[in-house]
Amino acid sequence: MDKSLLNNNEYSWCFACGKDNPSGLHMRFEIDDDKCTAYFTPRREHQSYPGRMHGGLVAVLLDEVTGNYLFAKEGKPSYTAKIEIRYRQPLAIGEEVVCTGRELKRKGRMVEMQGTICKKDGTLLAECLSKMMIVDETPQPSRKLAAGEGEEE
């Protein structure tokens, strides 16, 4: 893996997994041969209707667990080009879920990924099919941020 990627300070600001992002989800991952797994417990600040996680944030869990699998396998970033989500049951606030990302197939740099979110008893809550494009570039912060603008006072 290109070590300069991991030394890129901006990675620690990822909304889903960045350790320095105070508003982030702070997801952590386990990588196996064929999948990435993350355990996550939705908190009150993540809810939409009372007691259930916001659908946009459910999408973040799916996007991140699939993206992280590719990042670990390829040692390069990949960008989400398309994501389709089926929300089957609500994710309950306070109840831990298991997120899993797997590769289905690829053509060139475009990889088709599958993501699932299940209860600990295996009940399927949400799933996605996505297309992610592997890129060779190192993502750069916006010019404003690089110039020290856009930071909170």
Ligand X SMILES: CCCCCCCCCCCC(=O)SCCNC(=O)CCNC(=O)[C@H](O)C(C)(C)COP(=O)(O)OP(=O)(O)OC[C@H]1O[C@@H](n2cnc3c(N)ncnc32)[C@H](O)[C@@H]1OP(=O)(O)O
What DSSP assignment string belongs to 75-93?
Answer: SS-EEEEEEEEEE-SPPBT
CB of 133 to ligand X, least distance (A): 4
Assess 80 for contact with ligand X (CB under 6 A).
Answer: yes
For residue 129, which amino acid is it? L
- Between CA 90 and CA 47 the distance in angstroms is 10
Assess 69 for contact with ligand X (CB under 6 A).
Answer: no
Q: Which of residues 88-127 bind ligand X (CB under 6 A)?
A: 110
Give CA angle at 90 (133, 23), nearest 5°: 60
Among 92, 93, 118, 133, binds ligand X (CB under 6 A): 133
- What mask, x for binding ligand X by CB under 6 A, covers residues 46 to 65? -----------------xx-
- Between CA 44 and CA 135 the distance in angstroms is 36
Burial of residue 17 (CB within 10 Å: 0-12, 13-18, 19+) is buried
Q: Rank residues 6 and 124 by Cβ distance to ligand X and give the closer one.
A: 6
Q: Rank residues 20 and 120 by Cβ distance to ligand X and give the closer one.
A: 20
CB of 94 to ligand X, least distance (A): 25
Which stretches of the chain bind ligand X, using CB under 6 A? 6, 11, 14, 17, 63-64, 67-68, 71, 79-82, 110, 131, 133
